[in-house]
Amino acid sequence: MIDALFGSKTRVKLLYLFLNSPNQPYFVREITRKIDEQINSVRRELSNMLEVGIITSTSSENKLYYEVNQRYEFYVPLRAIFGEGVDSTSLLQGVSSEIDGGLSDYAQIVKDIPGVRLAVFAGMLVKGSGSSVDVLLVGDVSKAKLKTAIAHIEKQEGRDINYTVLSYDEFYYRLSVRDSFISRLISAKSEIVVDVDNILNQK
């Protein structure tokens, strides 16, 4: 049944492999051994999956490695389907974790981190954002609380979160000189969660 839904048995096996081992790269012959399929079939499906964007490839030591793209638009629902031992209810809650006026669960967690003077959500946490950074935090941030907060968000999302922490002085300087990183983040679709000093115009 699921083979017919997703096109081929090889593709389904690849989805199970990649979605159950995020952050784990595989080369082609290793993949063929793990899923017990013909190499030509594996190569064809890898090419299809690369084109769609669900996997990425990197080259190392004359080998081409493939791994799941955790920033793929439908990564969360696919992992809810194919991830073994994954709490699909928890994962799918992350799909609708948008900020719409009030503070979302994620926003409240970040707001409670001691020392945060500015917090911006973008990337995977804001629908339609093209940013490569998901969370920007500015201030003298508690590292222990930060680690706990990010771990919670990652658990709910079922994927890694890209975050950046800057001191207030560094952020203010980079903002004033129109630093490209800050400019790209602010110009992308984003949500301002905390802005104690009102340094950014509220959206």
Three-state secondary structure of 152-180: HHHHHHCCCCCEEEECHHHHHHHHHCCCH
pLDDT of 68 over the 50 cut = yes
pLDDT of 150 over the 80 cut = yes
Report in angstroms the alpha-carbon separations of 146 from 115, 153, 167.
10, 11, 14
pLDDT category at 85 given cuts 50, 70, 90 is: low
pLDDT of 103 over the 50 cut = no
Tell me how far the alpha carbon of residue 173 is from its chain's centroid: 28
CB contact at 8 A, 19 and 79: yes
Higher pLDDT residue, 84 or 46? 46
In this prediction, residue 86 carries a pLDDT of 56
Kindly report which listed range (33-47, 84-98, 131-145) carries the lowest average pLDDT score: 84-98
pLDDT category at 126 given cuts 50, 70, 90 is: confident
- 2-91 belongs to which CATH class? mainly alpha
Averaged confidence pLDDT in the chain? 84
Instruction: Name the pairing type of β-strands 135-139 and 163-166.
Output: parallel
| Residue of 199, 186, 181, 193 whose CA lies nearest to 153 | 193
In this prediction, residue 96 carries a pLDDT of 46
In this prediction, residue 189 carries a pLDDT of 84
In this prediction, residue 8 carries a pLDDT of 83
Show Cβ contacts of residue 127 under 8 Å, excluding neighbours closer than 6 positions: 98, 189
pLDDT of 129 over the 90 cut = no
In this prediction, residue 58 carries a pLDDT of 93
Q: What is the pLDDT of residues 1-50, one digit of tens each?
A: 455 456 788 999 999 999 998 889 999 999 999 999 999 999 999 999 99
Cβ count near 159 (within 10 Å): 22
CB contact at 8 A, 139 and 116: yes
Report in angstroms the alpha-carbon separations of 105 from 66, 99, 100, 110.
33, 9, 11, 9
The residue type of 159 is R
